[in-house]
Amino acid sequence: MANHTSISSDSLGSKGIIVAVTIIISWATLLVFLLNWELSWDNPLVYVAILLQMHLYTGLFITAHDAMHGVVAANKKVNHTLGWISAILFSYNFYWKLFPKHHEHHRYVATDKDPDYHPSGNFFIWYLSFIRQYVNIWQILLMAITFNILKLFLPTENLIIFWMVPAVLSTLQLFYFGTYLPHRGESDNKHHSHSQDKNHLWAFISCYFFGYHFEHHDSPGTPWWRLWKVKENNH
């Protein structure tokens, strides 16, 4: 396995900011369009749009995640602001609540102190445990209030299908590819993490390269869009 070093936010210049802002703007632009789109279940593009919006929701969370590692921007205020915005847009996740839990995951990976881990290995039990860790009553209340305000101006069906459903699907995407597959079963390497086989296109589509999970734990200072290079260096 080749040696490598984490890439600091200082060495990335403005690239991390550009990537983060692009994801945020793409999510918002597509959502505005879809909320005003005439919905027809006979149109196959509806299903494509749901999956695309799901993927952009996942991008929001991954952006917040990278901010927690300080690799979105060299300026700490800009870094955390973009992380906070990305998290709050994803169903009112609270960045500063996620922050310590994620670092606990890295510190205590696959142990009883890891908030992302469940020893049962059962997909459904583990997923429910994962959701309980990261969803709270305030998020549900804020989502309910926002939904009831928005439905005064926008079609209710569009709100459910393009705003709410993709967010739920994204939690499954994040959990399955970013937590369950990497950490299920026994793994005797130093990061207790499995990593998917090298396939950069699938790695991006499935979860923004977070299937390369050993690489992330081995190089947490590398932004998601550079993880493929870490994977290359490990082969």
Whole-number mean pLDDT of the chain? 91
- Greatest CA separation found in the chain? 57
What global pTM score does this model have?
0.92
Whether the CB-CB separation of 62 and 171 falls below 8 Å is answered with no
In the chain, alpha helices (H)? 15-35, 45-68, 76-89, 95-107, 123-134, 137-150, 156-158, 165-175, 181-183, 200-207, 213-218, 227-233
| CA-based nearest residue to 71, from 20, 9, 10 | 9
Q: What is the mean pLDDT of residues 94-123?
A: 88
Tell me what percent of the residues of the chain surpass a pLDDT of 70. 94
Max mean pLDDT range (12-21, 125-134, 138-147): 138-147
- 95 pLDDT more than 90: yes
